[in-house]
Amino acid sequence: MDNWLIVGLGNPGLQYEKTRHNLGFMLIDRLARELQTQVKRKECRALIGRAEIENKAAELVKPQTFMNLSGEAICCLLKKENRSAAKLIVISDDLALPLGKIRLRPKGSAGGHNGLKSINDCLKTQEYIRLRIGIQPAQQVNDAKRFVLENFSNTDLETVEKVLQQSAAAIRAVLSDGVEKAMAKYN
As a whole number of angstroms, the distance between CA 43 and CA 67 comes to: 17
Is there a contact between 4 and 89 (Cβ–Cβ < 8 Å)?
A: yes
Side chain identity at 70, as an amino acid letter?
S
Domains located in the chain, CATH noted: 4-186 (3.40.50.1470)
Q: Report pLDDT digits (tens) over 3-37.
A: 899 999 999 999 999 999 999 999 999 999 999 99
3-state secondary structure of 108: coil
Q: Report pLDDT digits (tens) over 140-149.
A: 888 988 999 9
Active site annotation includes 113: no
As a whole number of angstroms, the distance between CA 26 and CA 165 comes to: 11
- In this predicted structure, what is the pLDDT of residue 1? 55
Put simply, whether the predicted model's pTM sits higher than 0.75 gets the answer yes
Is there a contact between 46 and 64 (Cβ–Cβ < 8 Å)?
A: yes
Minimal CA–CA distance to 115: which of 74, 68, 46, 147?
68
Active-site option among 20, 21, 103, 132: 21
